[in-house]
Amino acid sequence: MKNPEIVFKFCPQCGSKSIAIRGSRSVYCPECDFLYYFNAAAAVAAVITSERGMLLTVRAHDPQKGALDLPGGFVEPGETAEESLRREIREELGIELKEARYFASFPNTYLYHGITYTTLDFAFHCTTDQIDHIRPADDVESCVFVEFDRMEYSKIGFDSIRNIIRTFIIGAGIK
Ligand SMILES: [Zn+2]
């Protein structure tokens, strides 16, 4: 597990070895004034509910392959969070959302190819009238509906997703 600034051994602009970590999330090269920040990446997560409970996905790939998750993913440059959410749901579940309402955000870390990225996960409460047409794809192996009072928090892969689900369920006044 490595933070991205640790792996910068040379300045990517001038090749100097003088590049150094500056502060907690940037690298700086005094030779050519190169300065690069490692910002948190924006991500979105959908809490899709129906009379069967909350839709959870089973992750098809690492990190956290096999763990429970919410559908969603990284926001791409130029997208709004709402556009990103609808795109991810289309890609992962093959359906369109009806409503999507933002309710909370939580920070997360995401270990990928040996580098730990920091993210900020934005959570939306979503509805759809296409529940029966879900076709898991992409990062999603399968889907399950879990009743709010039967949530198994230990099977959820990421802390931020666990916090989102807990916040939603508390907010819904279930437990
Ligand atoms: Zn340089």
Full pLDDT tens readout for the chain, 175 residues: 577 777 889 999 999 999 999 887 899 999 999 999 999 999 999 999 999 999 999 999 988 999 999 999 999 999 999 999 999 999 999 999 999 999 999 999 888 888 889 999 999 999 999 999 999 998 899 999 999 999 999 999 999 999 999 999 998 775 4
Give the model's pLDDT for residue 24: 74
Ligand 1 midpoint to CA 28 (Å): 8
| CA pair distance 127, 164, nearest whole angstrom | 16
- Say what the alpha-carbon torsion angle 7, 12, 18, 23 is, to the nearest 10 degrees: -60
Give the model's pLDDT for residue 23: 80
Domains of the chain are 4-37 (no CATH), 41-171 (3.90.79.10)
Ligand 1 midpoint to CA 40 (Å): 23
Give the model's pLDDT for residue 110: 85
Ligand 1 midpoint to CA 38 (Å): 17
Ligand 1 midpoint to CA 25 (Å): 17
Give the model's pLDDT for residue 1: 57
Give the model's pLDDT for residue 114: 87
Burial pattern 107-117, b for ≥16 Cβ within 10 A else e, equals ebebeeeeeeb
Tokens of 133: 């047409």
Contact 121, 43 (CB under 8 A): yes
Ligand 1 midpoint to CA 20 (Å): 10
Residues within 5 A (CB) of ion ligand 1:
11, 13-14, 16, 29, 31-32, 34
Ligand 1 midpoint to CA 55 (Å): 48
| CA pair distance 134, 141, nearest whole angstrom | 12
Give the model's pLDDT for residue 174: 59
